[in-house]
Structure 1
Amino acid sequence: MKKKTGIWVIIGFLFFAFLIYFSWQRFGPTEASAKILSKQAAQKLVQDRYQGTVIQINLTDKQYHIDLEKKDTIYQIELNAISGKVLSFVKKESKSPPLNEPEVTFKSEDEIRKIILAKVKGTIKSFEKIVNEDETIYKAVVKEGNNQTTLSVDALTGKILSSITTQTNTSSRRLTEKEARDIAKKQVNGIVEHIWLETKGEQTYYLVEIETQDDREAIVQIHSITGNVMSISWDDRSSDDDDEKSDDSKQRGKDDKKEDDD
């Protein structure tokens, strides 16, 4: 009887030793005595091993459930919280642009033009859309009389970002032939025969040839920018003809007087 009891004691001891050995091989130190990895340690272990970023980590029943992001893909990892052994590694999802994201709608060119003309009266001389990395704007130039306004408008909100008004120099505008003709006719009454433009030195001027009713000819010199009358010159042919007629009359008078004396 004692012999049988000793045999069962030996068998029980061997079985218990086998269980301890198996648990050591399977789990390492017994869970009762082993220390659980901290979240920081588990996170570092996973990130170092898989070269990704832990975006979520939770501890449940001595296992860490970890979401790891790597190259726009989310992986789900189960990690033994004591041994640090990876129990599973599964692809969870691929990141994609958010759905139902509101579409960015810019204002139309007509809407922007109305906003500009409500701010500045005049005529739009230039209008362009400028697309930058961080914003899209419209740029316009509005002309009214001698004033020129440059505006920048946000294409998304319609807000006027800047408005700069300058005066244009109208004095540099060249007279048209019609304007020069009208100025000349105010100086000399007659019919304009010819008009041409000449430049001498740094001055450019119009020369307007006018024939009067008594067959005289005048040339009016007019500055092409200011419109000032620079000179009026008369053709000497008519005065020479008058002098010749006068000389002929005098000569005939002398001849007639000489005949009377004879």
Structure 2
Amino acid sequence: MKNLRKPWALPLIFTIIILVAGGFFIGSLMTKKTPLSSEEIQDQLETIYDGKVEKLTLEKGVYLAEITRTDALYSAEVDAVSGKVLVLNQLSKVEEAKPQILSEKGVREEIAKKYTGEIERLSLNENKEQPVYNAEVVKEKALVELQVNAITGEIISEKKIETTTEDVLITRDEAIKIALGQLKGEVEYAVFKETDDGGYYLVEIEQDNEDTDDIEAIFHIHAITGKTLFVEWDD
């Protein structure tokens, strides 16, 4: 206690206190680490998970991120200093977008670019791996069967329906005559369809009526007997 009364003792004690306090302060500055930037965290996450960071926020030393991959949407929590991923959760699964099927109007427009004839039939078949439209088009008074890609409108196949075969008894001209005997008008087409019982002709006739609406009919005429199997009327 006698030393404290000496004039040089108090300044020495204050000097020691200042040095110790300064050492603690400098030490805390040296041990304190700066958080990684959001750009660094984003680059790191996109590289690791091969996705795209949609949202990134910093809260209490932790980056909160949302990452979109081709298969799903994920959330992540990342240590802001070390960059270590603390938590990764799948939020939702990304539904694969289904290709849009062309409307009947759209398919008709695509067919009309290559065929000037009238489209007689058009139906959608979605049972195949690739959905297709099946169509029948009048071409030079004969029918052409088409398969059209229902997504792109591309014509996949074209098949002309045969007008006659060697085995039938009724010729194409005779089938037309039989049909005209039931409805007078202009023959749109006459084609033969083969079946196990001898086949039949399809003869479409359009009757032009000045005073009333036009009448259209498709006659199904048996190629062996010449009998009219049935008639499709469109009046």
Q: TM-score range by the shorter chain?
A: 0.3 to 0.5
Higher relative contact order (CA 8 A, sep 6+): 2
Q: Specify which structure has the higher proportion of helix.
A: 1
Q: TM-score, normalised by structure 1?
A: 0.37
